[in-house]
Amino acid sequence: MRGMGNMQSMLKKMQKMQKEMLQAQEELNAKEFEGTAGGGMVKATVNGERKVLDISIDPSVVDPEDVEMLQDLIIVAINEALKKVEEETAATMGKFTQGLNLPF
């Protein structure tokens, strides 16, 4: 019956870890991440759920003759913000799987 005590202990640890993971994910989802392009002329803000919350464009970068440049700057800013989300998610959630030797 000694194995049952170990199993219960492991289940409790897994439940605790699951609760901590959910809390960490909720905290990440609530955070805001900013990406910039063009020396800060274009800023994109996204949350941890990877939803765009805001785009800020300095009027001096708006050139009706070069709309493509503005589009590129917006894309760069959004992608930079999303990269920050991915990096923080990996760092935060990776703590829970460190040393577990999971197949995925």
Q: Which domains are delineated in the chain?
A: 31-98 (3.30.1310.10)
| pLDDT at residue 43, as a whole number | 98
| pLDDT at residue 78, as a whole number | 98
- Under DSSP, is residue 42 helix (H, G, I), strand (E, B) or coil? strand
| pLDDT at residue 89, as a whole number | 92
| Token digits of residue 67 | 């709309």
| Token digits of residue 76 | 């760069």
Per-residue pLDDT of the chain (104 residues; tens, 9 = 90+): 566 778 888 888 889 989 999 999 999 999 999 999 999 999 999 999 999 999 999 999 999 999 999 999 999 999 999 999 999 999 988 887 776 665 55
Long-range CB contacts (< 8 A, 24+ apart) of 51-55?
Answer: 52/78
